[in-house]
Amino acid sequence: MTRKEFMQELRDRLSPLPPNEREAALSFYEEYFDEAGPNREQEVIAELGSPASVASRILADHAVKEARESPYNPRKGFSAFWAVLLAVFAAPLAIPAVVLIVGLMIAGIAVVIAIGATAIGLLVGGVALFVSGFFGLFATPATALILFGAAFLLWGLGKIVFVIVGAVLSLLGQTVSWFFDRFKGDSYAR
């Protein structure tokens, strides 16, 4: 192998490098040959080893540097692309689904509010019956006693409804927060 052949093979093997990096490496070896002189040409080639091994050391060093400089980020563009594509194709299904879920949530909240209002109504009605029964106590004792009974019944029912509404509300809150946690977790995992 001559110096020329050596340098040509080295140039070919360093082709993955950016041009300025490659020229810097090649000029180092050109200069080395120049300094050693034409008489030592074969000696230098023997010392250097094959152009392949010289190139692999330089490329390995370059690769290590590249790996250190660019942060590891797998499939970033890829996954963003697929997410957009998926969103576009899922829209005909996803938008009605979201509307449905939101509608159901609003309906559920309305039902809960209605039941809550009923409970308040029962309590207020109970108090009203008790008060009116109290005023009628002496005029019509029997009616008053019926009213008292009805008042206590309404009170009891109101309290039960309150407890049920409270349980439903906390269950709803847990479901919503679970749903959003899950959703958040998924989007972070991607």
Partner 1 sequence: MIFSINSGLLDACVLAILSRSDEYGYRLTQEVKQVMDISESTLYPVLRRLQKSGWLTTYDQPFQGRNRRYYRITSEGLSQHTLYLSEWKEYRKRIEGIFGGESTL
CB 44 within 8 A of CB 35: no
Q: Give CA–CA dist 97/121, Å, rounded.
A: 36
Among 6, 13, 58, 126, binds partner 1 (CB under 8 A): 58
Among 4, 8, 16, 34, binds partner 1 (CB under 8 A): 34
Check binding of 6 to partner 1 (CB under 8 A): no
Among 57, 75, 182, 184, binds partner 1 (CB under 8 A): 57
Among 12, 31, 134, 182, binds partner 1 (CB under 8 A): 31
* Minimum distance of partner 1 from residue 60's CB (angstroms): 8
Check binding of 115 to partner 1 (CB under 8 A): no
User: In whole angstroms, how far apart are CA 182 and each of 76, 177, 179, 187, 188?
Assistant: 22, 8, 5, 9, 10
| Cα dihedral 159, 164, 170, 173 in deg (nearest 10) | -120
CB 163 within 8 A of CB 175: no
Cβ closer to partner 1: 35 or 186?
35
Check binding of 40 to partner 1 (CB under 8 A): no
Q: Give CA–CA dist 109/187, Å, rounded.
A: 27
Provide the binding-site residues for partner 1, judged by CB under 8 A.
Answer: 24-25, 27-29, 31-32, 34-36, 44, 47-49, 53-54, 57-58, 60-61, 65
